[in-house]
Each structure stands twice: as structure tokens, then as C-alpha cells.
């Protein structure tokens, strides 16, 4: 009987340790200095009148300073960034920290649990900013992110990966005409830096924009970092991601980390995807980060009998930022994400 009672007590204690407070808003002034606090931040309600909340970790340093925002998995299959946040915060010493880190290791709370990329209404949350207080399901969720998270930060690193059926290098999207954003991008030691103002963004309808674009409109220097592939943890990507954020913390004089330098990134002035214009089974005979020449074969499309329907060639010299890994493609399927290289003064 004593053993049963002890087990019940231990189970209750374990639940209590991991039961974090649910809050409706972030109030940094209410938090003590030199603390690391875990919350559930309510964004919307579900169909059973229960809160749909995202995990929030707030690390408030011993001294005043900037507020750095870290967001991961606005698409539910982009998991590498979650682990980047967890590993980074394990190394942050609040005694040394000047300022505050607001980290969201799982921004799309519904889709992460369902192993899906898009939101419940099949909308891309990252194409629906600024959102609407009284809009549809995606718009209200995005509105909550906009009002409850973006309004609290001074700098933002938004963490992504490729989508299902594709793989990515470690690359950064950044407006390189902005000196602050340029510095944030260069500190990531990425494979590739893609110059991208974020306005307009690909796939965004009129009047809508990405979270990065929305943050930039609010005056928040923001970069998007693409950490490899979907629905897995890639430890090389995670390690490099942690190192990149540590370098930002050093540069902002928020912390003092010892970091390792990787090779300098290649700079791309623009990029675009190549698509198949017929359906079939696709092979992509090029590798990530490979520099391809004009007219080099980048895709071979076959029918089910193995006959070559069409070959696709690079329209110009460039570097492979991302590529398709799913052989099955209807017309309009992606082949490669091609970056056009340009020298930059780093």
C-alpha cells in the first residue's frame, strides 16, 4: 500500500513539475531578473472551448538589454529549429545575460501534433500576416502571433526547414541592404545567403505577407534561417544553428559565448525554382550546394515504363539551394531551387 501511495505521489509531483502556467499575454516587466520561465501562451480557442497555446520560454537576464525573439515551426513539419532553441537555452547563463530572450519552440501548435505543414484550413500561416482579429481561422491565429509575440521583441530569428518532398541547404533569407540585418545574416555561417527583402514574398496574396516581412514593417530586424530538411532532427544543422544564434547574442552584447567559425557563405542576389511542365517520375542528378553551369542537366523525367519524357537544364549558372526528393510529380512539380551567385563584401 505504501508503494502505491508513493507511486501516486511521485506521479502527481512529476505532473506538477511539467504543468506550466497558461497566460494570455507576455508581460516582461512582471518577470524577475536573472530567471528562465516557461509558459503556455494562449493564441486561440479550440472547438471544445479549450485554449490552443504555444510553448514560450522567456530568459530574462541579470541586466537590461535588447529583446531577441526566436521562433520555430510556424510550419508544423519544421522541427530542427525547435531543437536549436532547446540546445541554445541550455547554454545561456542568466547571470551573464544582458536583455531578454523570448523563444517559441513550436509556433504552429496544432499542425506540429498532426505531422503536417499547413494549418487546419490548409492555409500557410506564414503567408497570412498581419492576420485579422475577426478573420478566418488562419487569420485569427496569425493575428494572435502578431499581437502577442512580435509586439514584444526588438530582433527576430525565424527558423524554418524545407517542406515535405524537398531538402534544403542551411541558408538565410535577409534584406542585405539593411546593415543590421546583413550582419545578423553573416553571423549564421550559412552555406548560402539569399538577398530577399521579404516584400512581396512568393505565394503571398495581395495584402498578406510573411512573418519576416511583417516584423520588418514594424522596424524589427529579422532574418529567416532555413535549417535543412522537414520532420527530423539533423544534428549538424542544429549545432550550426546554435552557433549562429550565439554569435548574434555576442554581437548584441547580450552574452559572451565562445563560438566556432565555419566557411563563409556564398551570396545570392536572387533565386527561383524550376518546375516540370509535364507529369512523371523525376530524378534530380545534382546535389545541395553544387554549382551548376548553364545548360547543365538538373532534372530527368520518365514515364512509368522508364522512358525519358524530358530533361531539364539550368537556364544559367547558379548554386543548388534546395531540391526535390519526391520522384512523383504532376505538372508544376518542383525540381531545384537555383540561387544566382554574386560577390559581396563581407
Which pLDDT value is given to residue 260?
A: 81
Whether 142 shows a pLDDT value over 70: the answer reads yes
Which pLDDT value is given to residue 17?
A: 41
Residues 6+ apart with CB under 8 A from 109: 43, 52, 53, 54
Q: How large is the average pLDDT for residues 111-138?
A: 92
CATH architecture of 271-341: Beta Barrel (2.40)
CATH topology of domain 21-251: Aminopeptidase (3.40.630)
Q: Where are the domains of the chain?
A: 21-251, 271-341
- Give residue-wise pLDDT tens across range 219-278: 999 999 999 999 999 999 999 999 999 999 999 999 999 888 877 899 999 999 999 999
Please choose, from the candidates 260, 251, 223, the residue with its C-alpha nearest in 3D space to the C-alpha of residue 98: 251
Per-residue pLDDT band at 2 (split at 50, 70, 90): very low
Per-residue pLDDT band at 15 (split at 50, 70, 90): very low
Whether 197 shows a pLDDT value over 90: the answer reads no
Whether 49 shows a pLDDT value over 80: the answer reads yes
Please choose, from the candidates 124, 268, 145, the residue with its C-alpha nearest in 3D space to the C-alpha of residue 214: 145
- Give residue-wise pLDDT tens across range 75-107: 999 999 999 999 999 999 999 999 999 999 999
Whether 28 shows a pLDDT value over 90: the answer reads yes
Amino acid at each position: 500500500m505504501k508503494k502505491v501511495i508513493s507511486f501516486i505521489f511521485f506521479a502527481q509531483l512529476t505532473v506538477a513539475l511539467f504543468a506550466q502556467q497558461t497566460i494570455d499575454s507576455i508581460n516582461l516587466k512582471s518577470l524577475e531578473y536573472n530567471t528562465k520561465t516557461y509558459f503556455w501562451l494562449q493564441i486561440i480557442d479550440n472547438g471544445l472551448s479549450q485554449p490552443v497555446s504555444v510553448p514560450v520560454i522567456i530568459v530574462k537576464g541579470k541586466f537590461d538589454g535588447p529583446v531577441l525573439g526566436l521562433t520555430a515551426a510556424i510550419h508544423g513539419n519544421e522541427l530542427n529549429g525547435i531543437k536549436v532553441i532547446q540546445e541554445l537555452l541550455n547554454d545561456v547563463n542568466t547571470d551573464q545575460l544582458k536583455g531578454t530572450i523570448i523563444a517559441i519552440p513550436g509556433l504552429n501548435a496544432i499542425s506540429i501534433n498532426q505531422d503536417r505543414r499547413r494549418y487546419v484550413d490548409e492555409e500557410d500561416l506564414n503567408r497570412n500576416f498581419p492576420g485579422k482579429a475577426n478573420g478566418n481561422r488562419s487569420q485569427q491565429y496569425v493575428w494572435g502571433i502578431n499581437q502577442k509575440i512580435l509586439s514584444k521583441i526588438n530582433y527576430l530569428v525565424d527558423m524554418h526547414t524545407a517542406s515535405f518532398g524537398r531538402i534544403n541547404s542551411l541558408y538565410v533569407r535577409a534584406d542585405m541592404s539593411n546593415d543590421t540585418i546583413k550582419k545578423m545574416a553573416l553571423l549564421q555561417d550559412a552555406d548560402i545567403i539569399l538577398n530577399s527583402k521579404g516584400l512581396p514574398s512568393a505565394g503571398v496574396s495581395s495584402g498578406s505577407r510573411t512573418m519576416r516581412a511583417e516584423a520588418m514593417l514594424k522596424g524589427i530586424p529579422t532574418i529567416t534561417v532555413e535549417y535543412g530538411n522537414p520532420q527530423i532532427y539533423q544534428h549538424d544543422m542544429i549545432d550550426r544553428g546554435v552557433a549562429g544564434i550565439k554569435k548574434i547574442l555576442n554581437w548584441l552584447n547580450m552574452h559572451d559565448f565562445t563560438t566556432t567559425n565555419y566557411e563563409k557563405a556564398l551570396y545570392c542576389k536572387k533565386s527561383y525554382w524550376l518546375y516540370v511542365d509535364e507529369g512523371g517520375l523525376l530524378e534530380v542528378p545534382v546535389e545541395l550546394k553544387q554549382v551548376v553551369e548553364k545548360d547543365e542537366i538538373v532534372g530527368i523525367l520518365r514515364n512509368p515504363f522508364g522512358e525519358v519524357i524530358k530533361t531539364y537544364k539550368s537556364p544559367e549558372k547558379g548554386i543548388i539551394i534546395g531540391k526535390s526528393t519526391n520522384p512523383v510529380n504532376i505538372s508544376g512539380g518542383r525540381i531545384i531551387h537555383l540561387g544566382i551567385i554574386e560577390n559581396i563584401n563581407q
